[in-house]
Amino acid sequence: MQTEKTETALDGAALHQALAIATAEEREDIMRETVRAQLADILAPTVVEDDSNFLENGLTSLTALELTRNLMTLTDVEIPLVAILEYPTPAQLGHYLAEAYAAVNSGDGATA
C-alpha cells in the first residue's frame, strides 16, 4: 500500500527539475535526501541518518532491491545492486548518485 508521502517521494519529474537547476553540491544534498526518504519509506518507522549503515538499519536483499528500483525510477540512473554495499550510507550513496546523474546528463554518453 502506497501512502501519499510515498507517492510524493516518488515524483521523479519534480526531482529532475530540482536537479537540473542545482549546483553539484546541491545535487549531492538532494540525492542524499532522496536516498534517506526512500530508505525511511522502506524501513518505516526507522529514522535514517546521513551516516547510518543500510545493513545495520535492517536493509535486506529484498529491500535493497526495492531501494535501488525506487531510486532508478526517480533518477533515471542505472544503479547496480552492489552499489548498496559499496556506498552503504545515505551520504555515500547520495554522492555516488549525484556523480552518476551528472555523468548521464552531461551529454557525453558516459554512464556511472
Domain assignment present for residue 3? The answer is no
Residue 79 has pLDDT above 90, yes or no: yes
> What average pLDDT does the structure give for the chain?
86
In a domain, 6, yes or no: no
Q: What is the pLDDT of residue 13?
A: 87
Share of the chain above pLDDT 90, in %: 70
Q: Does residue 5 sit within a domain? A: no
Position with higher pLDDT, 8 vs 81: 81
DSSP string, 46-102: ----TT--TGGGT--HHHHHHHHHHHHHHH-----TTHHHHS-SHHHHHHHHHHHHH
Q: Is the pLDDT of residue 60 over 50?
A: yes
Q: CA torsion 60→62→68→69, rounded to 10°?
A: -160
For residue 10, being part of any structural domain is answered with: no
Give the residue numbers spanning the domain of 46. 24-104
Please give the tally of structural domains in the chain.
1
Give a yes or no: residue 92 inside a domain. Answer: yes
Does residue 7 register a pLDDT over 70? no
Q: What is the pLDDT of residue 108?
A: 57
- The answer to whether residue 57 is domain-embedded is yes
Query: What CATH number is attached to the domain comprising 84?
Result: 1.10.1200.10
